[in-house]
Amino acid sequence: MKPGLVELLELYEYKVDDLVAGQEPKGGMAGLTRLRQALIQANLPGPLAKKFRDIDARFKAHRPGYKTTVEEGPSSDLGAIFVEEEPSPPDPEHQTLEKLAEAVYWARLERELARVAKTLNQGKRDELRLAYAILQNLEAYAKSPLFTQDYNLSRFTLAHPIPSVSDPLVRLDDLSTAQNLLLELFREAFSIAERLRLPPEETVPYLRRFARRVLESEGALKTPLRGPSLESLRRALEEAHRQRLSLAEIQSLEERLQAAAAEERRLALVMEEDRARFSAAIEQLSTLLSRYLPSPRGEASWPQLPQKILGSPNPAYALFEVPPETKALNLRLMPLRFTLGGHQVAISQAGPVFALSVEGQERTLEENAAFSLTLPDAEMHGVRYQNYLHLWLEPREAATLSSLLAEGRVLAHIMWPENHYAYLRLLRALSARFKGPINYAAFQPESASKYAEAPIDNLQEFARKGLEVVRSRIQRHPSWAAYLSEVAQGLGLEDYAQVLYVELSEWLGFNPPSRDTLGQGVGSTTVSEAPSTIKAGSTVLSLRYQNGAIYVSSTGLVPRKLSDLLVWVVPEGGLVLAREGARVAYSLTSIPPRH
């Protein structure tokens, strides 16, 4: 059996459990699909194959965008008379929730693209220049009657070249222009499948083909010519020989011809380099579209809004009070007061104008206009559709990074290999103890050999999921410390249990900073396409931003992808890296030896 198959199967089960519970799996649907494909190709042995089929059946029944029920065909009883009922009118509250969900998607996307624009708005700005050319040529070709019939773009002709980096009409150096350009590209991508009557899954492949046709068209890349062309100089030299001009004049023309030939060769090399760069830009834009377009156009999830509305006159949708732990809320606009995430919120009305007040801040609520307010411990976001409002709270960037670093500190201990992964064995034994008496033989050092053999990223994801499970069980069992002490005695790991108890307690009681600071001992950097380095203890890591992802590497080791949290095991303990957009915070968790 290949090492790590059991852990991969458990990880797949965890992700499917999230999907069944209505939550987005960690790593998104794309990560879940890749993991499933890897298991399909792994030639699992009998017991694991049976377990995989059981889990996979649940995956197929709950994956988004697929219909799992079989519709019955029409009855074969020709004597039966069917009376077709009039379709029921659309539910206005349901339509409102759909419109609010769409507004939330665009509001979130706009904030994400603001971060992406900062990354792309440097250097030669190839992705932004290419996006501009795609939009200009799409607009021009859409006016042609061939547009809706030319799926393969065989009859496409270039209308607008790729602009130069300093084109004054485009102003790509302006950050708001760059953000609006990306947003316009996404709006075009969102609707183009319907306009062309394509399956939504073909959105990104079609735009990739379109970008490729733009790049490969003659005249797409401008190459400024200096002086007369090579052909005109050849004709001039031939004419000079026919007219028997002086030797000096002929030599002058020959020198100019040689210089022009050298310049033409240089421009050909420049053109080849430009094509290679823009080919890479096509792939980067395609990756960006895939990441943020909602399924089935791309890999992103559509916003899931609560199905109740505060103040709704429809009993099926009415919410009469806001639950204390609510972080997202739909409401019908009217003068009212309520508490959201511990913050007192007031909605006021003056004629047709509504306003929102929270924490001493006031905001006029304009229709179809998203807004954000900074609170002491969170960001409040909102979108309005007609007389309805959706509000949701998100941690501030510093709070998000601090929370991830706190989780990473515990994770660094769980992944520490000392004494046959003592902390991980303790965590798994504690998790099992919550469900009843356990067999300690299953958590002895021999059981840890699979951890050392597993790829480090698989080990981290497995440990992180296990940590989440233990956290949820601790919150339901106040006596968890007694359970931890019990399993520690059973495994002879009392010293490790004391450390684990402290780390878990601090993590469970962690409160993010109330200001945009990360605290002492924490470094941070903003990553770009140019490699940057961070140093902690005796370790130096290189960080590189590529295709919207951040890769972490060290000399002689395979680069690792930093999604939101990564633990890099170092001699002193664990170097924890947390990511929010292009910003990376890091801290060193020292783990003294226990034996």
β-sheet with 573-580: strand ranges across: 523-526, 583-590, 573-580, 565-570
What are the pLDDT digits (tens) for 29-65? 777 877 887 787 777 777 777 788 888 888 877 776 5
- Mean pLDDT of the region 94-113: 92
Q: What is the pLDDT of residue 77?
A: 40
Q: What CA–CA distance (Å, rounded) separates 332 from 349?
A: 12
- Give the range with max mean pLDDT: 131-140, 162-171, 388-397: 131-140
Domain-wise residue ranges, the chain: 5-62, 121-225+269-292, 309-394, 398-590
The pLDDT, as a whole number, for residue 519 is: 60
Q: What is the pLDDT of residues 540-566, one digit of tens each?
A: 899 988 766 889 998 888 899 998 899
pLDDT of the residue at 270: 67
Sequence letter at residue 40: I
- Calculate mean pLDDT across residues 433-451: 91
Q: What pLDDT, on the 0 to 100 scale, is given for residue 269?
A: 72
pLDDT of residue 107 exceeding 90, the answer is: yes
Report yes or no: 291 and 548 within 8 Å, Cβ to Cβ: yes
pLDDT at 86 over 60: no
Q: Which residues contact 521 (CB under 8 A, 6 or more apart)?
A: 587, 588
Q: What is the pLDDT of residues 493-529, one digit of tens each?
A: 999 999 999 999 988 876 655 444 556 678 888 787 6
Residue 398's nearest CA partner among 377, 375, 371, 372 is 377
* Residue 114 pLDDT: 85
- Averaged pLDDT, 106-127: 85
Query: Any idea which of 80-89, 92-101, 168-177, 354-363 has the lowest mean pLDDT?
Result: 80-89
pLDDT at 227: 58
CB atoms within 10 A of CB 329: 23
pLDDT per residue over 285-301, tens digit each? 998 999 899 988 988 88
Asked whether the predicted pLDDT for residue 382 surpasses 90, the reply is yes
- Label residue 98 by pLDDT band (50, 70, 90): very high
CA atoms 207, 211, 212, 214: torsion sign: positive
Give pLDDT tens digits for 183-199: 999 999 999 988 888 88
The answer to whether the CB of 408 falls within 8 A of the CB of 576 is yes
Q: What is the mean pLDDT of residues 443-451?
A: 90
Residue 585 has pLDDT above 80, yes or no: yes
Taking only the tens place, the pLDDT of each residue in 305-321 is 999 999 999 999 999 99
pLDDT bucket at 255, cuts 50 / 70 / 90: confident
pLDDT score of 88:
56
Please indicate whether residue 139 or residue 513 has the higher confidence score (pLDDT).
139
